[in-house]
Chains A and B, each alone.
Chain A
Amino acid sequence: MAAYELTHTYTASQIYDIQYAQINDVIYLAHPDHPPRKLTRIASNNWTLTDVPFIGGPFFTDNGILSGSSILLLTSATITASATAGTVTLSASANIFTASGSTLGHVNTFWKVGSTVTSATTGLDEQGYVKITAVTNPSTATATVMKTLSTASATTNWAQGAWSYVLGFPARTTFYQQRLVFARTDYQPQNVWLSKSFEFENFALDGGEDDDAIDIQLASNESNEIKWIVPGTNLIAGTYGGEFVIKSGDGSPLTPANTNVGKETSWGSEAVVPKKIGNFFYYIQRFSRKVRELFFNFDLDAYKSVDKTILSPHIAGDGFIDMAYQQNPDSILWCVTSQGTISTMTREVDQEVQGWARQTTIGNYESIVSIPSQSEPHDEVWVVVKRTLGSGAERRYIERFKSPIVPDRKDDCFYVHSGLTYNAYDETASPTSYTISLSATAGTTVVVTSSGAYFAIGDIGQRIRAIDADGDTVGELEVTAFTSSTVVVGEVKTNFDATSYTGGEWGLSVSTVSGLDHLEGLEVVVLADGGLDKPNKTVSGGAISLEYNYFKVHAGLPYTQKIQTLPIEAGSQRGTSQCKIQKINELGFKVNNSHTGFYVGGTESTLDRVQFRNSATEMGTPEALYTGVIPKIPFGDGYRYGAQVWIQNPDPLPVELLSVVYTVDTNDK
């Protein structure tokens, strides 16, 4: 079945410039070259994309028209409407209308004509305006009156719509205090427009009532375009030259009459919408190399912006281009860099915890989002990754990070990239459930009968295993003979605890895995039944052949987990150990639920595998994940200034380091 798709007209180069704001089942999309649109979910596989059917406003500067790339104010130019209501002809004393061509020009734009009119119904002042339906020539247009005009005579009180194919469209959007907010067009780069309260698609200014739309220009010494706009206690706008706060002067909700704008900080921003962690905003500073934390500081009675990359300036590479915030299970800000890596910042403000790490892959991360998982209690991180196949062909994949919570079972560990899983037990459960019955629980010629056609002659040599609810083995046999697609014979290796198992309680092992076409020609690492199936395999024809037969196989691109400690400051008899030769003699680790076969060394080129095996582990089975102390690891490093510990794990298994303890000699001379 084909993926459900909805077409749009944004080009590839425009996709990353879209900003969005969601309310209920609707996402409003803003892009400077397209009218604001709304993406509406009707059902999972039924979405619509339409231009926002604005009811009115906003309007450009009075009497302003575009001449070339400049704005002219034709203060003496008049517009005469043929009537104050209905379909009218607008006659201008100057060439002010732009006809349809490659774009709609002024067609479908709102124009303010005349002054406000007091409504006989509401008693409120309402701005008269029209919607142009056709442009006859540069001085004549046909329009529909949307709100009754104050006059059918010539008037110099007119303004064209602020958003159009002539003047461009707003590029930023958000919601704030029950208003839809747009900001920044090409010709009004510092403007912010807020809709009427609860009327998200009405930007008419009318008489300035409290719930009327709001039109604000950020006044500053520089003309810096707004890069993003986000809602907090106040409305915050990031421009290339600084960060502005838009709020009411008296602390009450924003109205057309009480709007107060102030420039709080002057770091400047890039056009990546900030992420909010608690009451703190995280945004990318101008030039993309820094993430700053923006928050209100009571001591200063002002907003404060703190550089969160100051201790790790390298972490941004050539710059950040996208961000996502994963709240659960750990509070982590994921920042994609232009080099295709991800820099993660774990941030717990209340605990004063902050830690950066870099995520790399064989390929380039390009985009990222975080959404709640439907099946597990954490937020999922999804990415677009560009990968290069063995043939040299480039592909972009949608991939999802697994949960950082280490699974209870080692055979459920998933530490590969772009990976897929074969689960023999799932295969017997879905889409069709197969039940097997055994002629005996033990013996060398046990007959296995399936409720449906499941077996093939190639299954000879494979194993059938039954498991309990925890996934532990409760019986296993090796298939020795094929009778039919529903009957095989096997020799029991581990006695079964029953003679019948339903789908999901048993599985048939495999020695080849297919479905890896997306990694064609690439080397993959395989974790099979909790152990490594060495050596790594190269995908050919979308498949790999395994060294043995297994029930749970995870295959994907390998990646190496790396830690490098800071140079040791252990002190010495004569004060500091800085600038003195050191040597680490021995290491110890405290680990939690960890693979113990990782590597340590004094440099990246002198790593040795930690040899630690629990004596209780059965021979021929993979070592279980370990929690506890790994003591007294010899550390074959030489004397050096600023001794460090390198820890690397190339295996597709987890390591959680609680602490690293070492003994170190410092040469005090």
Chain B
Amino acid sequence: MLVRPYGTIISTPGTEFINDAKYDTSGLSDDDIDEDVILYLEMEGTNGSTTFTDSSSYNHSISATGGNVAISTAQYKFGGSSALYQYVAVEDEQERIYVADNDVFDIHIAQDRTYELWMRWTDLAPAGNGNNNFYYQVGPNSDLIRCDADEFVVGSVRFGFNMTDSGSGSGVAQSSDLTPSLNEWHHIAYVKSSSTLNIYLDGSNIASATFSAGFVFAAPNSAVVIGQRTDGYMDSFIITNRAKYTSNFTPPTGGRNYGRSRLIPFVFSRNDAYAIEAGETYFRFYTNGGVVNA
């Protein structure tokens, strides 16, 4: 309620939604931006660029091979770009993103972990070779971590999540043959929670498995491959050292707030009055009930 100058009490009017304060591009929430995130590829950059960066605190070294994976502004789930993979038959090293090996990627049975990404396929099984390795790391000792969607039946893919402790045990979860729609964004999450592996497609569980006895530690010591034999757009690839999803969920629809924003008034005249949104590293300008567009 509000007190009016002549002594009556009146309802406080409502507020109309004008705009989101700016938030980040990743699909991460504020709570996610912490030490648990060990790899974070926002896939942001200028169109055609082959420079990818890790936004996690680890700042991993990233490289792209072959020129058939590059930043594309044609499609994106968050921000203004994604990674476009264009499969080239036979030479399958033409479209890979490599992340330098780091012990943080190793997995212990007691360590929970989530691998998640957004994927927009243009072709599920390019040239009949649908073997989408979203995350692939193997070592000379055959320790293995793999998150994939492979073609077993023409026109469909089978999502797989494999963690192998060479000679000791493994966990392998595999979905049925599925046909996620082309040219639409899909959220894929591979979650290790204690001794259970789960795969979620668009927030729904599609596969589950438990580790066999003996799995203790997998330390594949090769560079991590992000994307292989893949045709389409990938956005917001995140690895988090905890089980973010343990039951069906709504995939993240937005991103991380930039942090607190504040408003600064700018009044030149009645027709030139602005509320200036001052956020982390940016100003935005509002006038006449809306945001000023570029």
Contact = CB atoms under 8 A, between A and B. Distances in A.
Interface residues of A, number: 100
Interface string A317-334: 000001010000011100
A87 interface: no
Interface in B1-55: 1-23, 29-30
Given A3-B291, A18-B278, A369-B264, A417 B5 contact: no
Given A44-B292, A372-B273, A401 B278 contact: no
A346 B271 contact: no
Nearest to B294: A4
A120 interface: no
B183 interface: no
Nearest to B269: A372
A371 B279 contact: no
Nearest to B288: A374
Interface string A491-520: 000000000000000000000000001111
Interface string B40-79: 0000000000000000000000000000000000000000
Interface stretch (B91-99, B103-111, B128-136, B255-263): B255-263
A374 B277 contact: no
B47 to A, nearest CB: 15
B267 interface: yes
Contacts of A386: 260
Contact of A44 (B259, B280, B282, B287): B287
B294 A322 contact: no
Contact of B2 (A330, A556, A562, A653): A330
A16 B260 contact: yes
B179 interface: no
Interface string A393-423: 1111111111110100000001111111100
B268 to A, nearest CB: 6
A290 B40 CA distance: 45
Contacts of A562: 1
A473 B223 CA distance: 70
B10 A655 contact: yes
Contacts, number: 270
B265 interface: yes
B250 interface: yes
A521 B1 CA distance: 27
Nearest to A382: B275
B214 interface: no
A12 B279 CA distance: 6
A395 B257 contact: yes
Contacts of A359: 12
Interface stretch (A215-223, A348-356, A631-639): A348-356
Contacts of B19: 3, 397-398
A400 B16 contact: yes
Given A2-B293, A25-B268, A371-B274, A15 B279 contact: yes
Nearest to B30: A394
A649 interface: yes
A616 B229 CA distance: 74
A1 interface: yes
Given A346-B2, A382-B286, A395 B254 contact: yes
B293 A3 contact: yes
A611 interface: no
Contacts of B3: 344, 346, 353, 355-357
A22 B267 contact: yes
A577 interface: no
Contact of B281 (A7, A649, A655): A7
B1 A366 contact: no
A366 B18 CA distance: 16
Nearest to B32: A393
A52 interface: no
Interface in A39-83: 39, 41, 44-45, 47, 49
A393 B264 CA distance: 26
Given A11-B280, A561-B11, A517 B17 contact: no
A416 B12 CA distance: 10
Contacts of B258: 12
Given A351-B5, A399-B16, A22 B293 contact: no
Q: Which of B1, B17, B258 has the most CB of A within 10 A?
A: B17
A418 B16 CA distance: 5
A15 B273 CA distance: 21
Interface string A369-391: 11111110000001111100001
A578 to B, nearest CB: 24
A552 to B, nearest CB: 14
A367 B266 contact: no
Contact of A4 (B15, B267, B284): B284
B139 interface: no
A656 interface: yes
A344 to B, nearest CB: 6
A287 interface: no
A374 B287 contact: yes
A526 to B, nearest CB: 12
A383 B17 CA distance: 10
Given A361-B15, A369-B263, A45 B280 contact: no
B285 interface: yes
Contact of B17 (A15, A330, A518): A518
A121 interface: no
Contacts of B287: 44, 374
Contact of A655 (B11, B264, B266, B283): B11
A3 B292 contact: yes
A420 B290 CA distance: 13
B261 to A, nearest CB: 5
A368 B264 CA distance: 8
Contacts of B275: 369, 371, 382, 398
A657 B8 contact: yes
9 residue pairs, one from A and one from B, having the closest CB atoms? A355-B3, A12-B259, A396-B21, A12-B280, A402-B13, A367-B262, A399-B15, A346-B3, A371-B273
10 contacts: A1-B294, A3-B293, A11-B280, A15-B279, A47-B283, A371-B267, A398-B291, A402-B13, A592-B8, A658-B8
Given A353-B5, A396-B260, 19 more contacts: A1-B294, A2-B293, A4-B284, A10-B278, A44-B292, A45-B285, A45-B292, A368-B263, A375-B288, A382-B286, A384-B21, A391-B250, A393-B253, A394-B257, A399-B18, A419-B14, A419-B16, A521-B250, A592-B8
